Amino acid sequence: MRRISLLGTGLIGMFYTMALHRHRGQDRVHMVYSRSRERASNFAVQWGIPRHTTNLEEAIRNDESDVIIVALPNHLHEEAVIAAAEARKAVLCTKPLGRNAAEARRMLEAVEKAGVFHGYLEDLCYTPKTLNALEATRRGSIGKVLWVRSRETHSGPHSDWFWNKDLSGGGAVIDLGCHCIEIARSFIGKDVRPLEVVCWGDTQVHPIEAEDHAIGLVRYENGAIGQFEVSWNFRGGMDLRDEVAGTEGTVWLNHWLRTGIEMYTAVNKGGYVSEKAESNTGWLFPVGDEPGALGYVDMFTDMLNALDDGRSPRETFYDGYVVNAIIDAAYAAMASKQWQSVELPIWRGSGAAADGANLRDFDAEHVLLKEEQMMDGSTKYILRNKRTGQIVQRTQP
Ligand SMILES: NC(=O)c1ccc[n+]([C@@H]2O[C@H](COP(=O)([O-])OP(=O)(O)OC[C@H]3O[C@@H](n4cnc5c(N)ncnc54)[C@H](O)[C@@H]3O)[C@@H](O)[C@H]2O)c1
């Protein structure tokens, strides 16, 4: 059983507590920190948390908690992580790790120097659907992953600080792209180095300094492409979808809208529907188990099991640092309208070179490019002559 100090009582603090305290969960939030005494006290009462404080240091240093969860706005992650490392406490930090790679690197170095356990709370790499698809990919069911397209769009964040570039580090890319980038890395392989990024981003709707919509491509050393599509301008709820295309197969994942429960109501009886739902009449798409569907439950199981077992979790601060480095390149690309290289002075993956798809020999002279059953019952083969390079087709009745 772990006793946790939770820093922050906003949306994510609530989701984390729901995930940890659900059913008969043995790990508990023991102390909660908020700037406001009233908010800290109300949150503690609501979730059965024995202690609350308005003092960040007290929440981190108190002897009764052995894990710190950072659920504060982005500009406060570094200060909280450094304080946790100095107190020699295990620390789990929400996404994005930093506002940029320099901040993320300082956090990574602080926890590693202190020798404390660290986990990057990237829940969308832990949804039950994603874990299932990642396992199928690991088994080779879709062959070599060539292209991962990941989308997170909604109508914009729920608190002021997200919209302030200085506090958040950017707009939709830092807020939502961090999820999409890490989802793509997970499928392509975390050992494979991200090389360069091109990104379009613009402020289409809102009067803010940052981008409220962006689309980017991340090119990996083995030839794979990660594509992220993020927006704060999308109407109709929260669209969370991933597509993974490999040499031998394809996976499509839809995490939020139209995933099982579809309900029509003509009358507004109030009540919550699901995160970022825009309406509570008409056709609604409630979610049976929000903390489970968003990955929070499996994420904390992995994090706290890893802590108990003395191993690293699936997502560490190193992953958060790599994601921040990719985002830095995306912002540079957005400004320059050019491909920008991903600066990773700390790289711990392999140096895998690009490898081609596994093409089958058709006969001694030809390699098979494509085989297709035609409507007339024949089979067509597209072949390349190994010696001359000529491309020909053969048809078998
Ligand atoms: N899926 C996810 O993993 C996910 C989802 C939402 C948010 N987040 C992340 O969680 C963090 C918090 O986001 P949120 O949605 O909970 O935000 P929020 O605005 O709902 O809550 C933030 C909390 O921090 C407090 N706070 C704000 N400014 C502060 C300050 N200067 N000092 C101390 N406390 C302050 C607020 O009062 C509030 O309790 C962010 O880093 C965000 O990116 C992650």
Residue 352: its pLDDT value, please?
Answer: 59
Ranges 25-29, 38-42, 124-128, 309-313: which has the least confidence: 25-29
- 39 is written with which tokens? 């908010």
Residue 241: its pLDDT value, please?
Answer: 97
Residues belonging to the chain: 397
Most ligand 1 atoms within 8 A of CB, residue of 159, 164, 181 to mutate: 159
118 lines ligand 1 (CB under 6 A): no
Q: Which of 111, 128, 87, 71 is nearest to 293 (CA)?
A: 128
- pLDDT over 60 at 219, yes or no: yes
55 lines ligand 1 (CB under 6 A): no
- Mean pLDDT, rounded, for 281-307: 94
11 lines ligand 1 (CB under 6 A): yes
- pLDDT over 80 at 381, yes or no: yes
Looking at the DSSP bridge assignments, the partners of residue 214 are 201, 230
The ligand 1 atom at the shortest distance from the C-alpha of residue 122 is 3
The ligand 1 atom at the shortest distance from the C-alpha of residue 294 is 1
- Mean pLDDT, rounded, for 364-371: 95
Residue 269: its pLDDT value, please?
Answer: 78
Most ligand 1 atoms within 8 A of CB, residue of 94, 150, 238 to mutate: 94
Q: How far is the CA of 71 from the centre of ligand 1 (A)?
A: 6
Mean pLDDT, the chain, integer: 95
Ranges 56-65, 118-127, 153-162, 354-363: which has the least confidence: 354-363
Ranges 56-60, 261-265, 332-336: which has the least confidence: 261-265
Q: How far is the CA of 64 from the centre of ligand 1 (A)?
A: 24
Sign of CA dihedral 74, 329, 243, 224: negative
Residue 333: its pLDDT value, please?
Answer: 98
Q: How far is the CA of 10 from the centre of ligand 1 (A)?
A: 5
| φ, ψ dihedrals at 328, nearest 5° | -55, -45
Q: How far is the CA of 75 from the centre of ligand 1 (A)?
A: 10
Kindly indicate the confidence band of residue 356, based on its pLDDT and cuts at 50, 70 and 90. low
- Contact (CB, 8 A) for 30 and 51: yes
Q: How far is the CA of 126 from the centre of ligand 1 (A)?
A: 20
How far is residue 243's CA from residue 106's CA, in Å, rounded to a whole number?
33
- pLDDT over 60 at 354, yes or no: no
178 lines ligand 1 (CB under 6 A): no
Residue 249: its pLDDT value, please?
Answer: 93
How distant, in Å, are the alpha carbons of 247, 257, 309 from that of 30? Answer: 48, 34, 22
Q: How far is the CA of 12 from the centre of ligand 1 (A)?
A: 6
Q: How far is the CA of 92 from the centre of ligand 1 (A)?
A: 14
Q: How far is the CA of 127 from the centre of ligand 1 (A)?
A: 21
Residue 58: its pLDDT value, please?
Answer: 98
Q: Which of 226, 219, 94 is nearest to 162 (CA)?
A: 94
Distance in angstroms between the alpha carbons of the first and the last residue of the chain = 67
Ranges 69-78, 163-172, 357-366: which has the least confidence: 357-366
17 lines ligand 1 (CB under 6 A): no
Residue 382: its pLDDT value, please?
Answer: 96
- pLDDT over 70 at 355, yes or no: no
How far is residue 109's CA from residue 105's CA, in Å, rounded to a whole number?
6
Nearest CA to ligand 1 atom 27: 73
Nearest CA to ligand 1 atom 36: 10
- pLDDT over 70 at 353, yes or no: no
Q: How far is the CA of 8 from the centre of ligand 1 (A)?
A: 6
- pLDDT over 80 at 71, yes or no: yes
Characterize the bridge pairing of strands 391-396 and 379-385. antiparallel
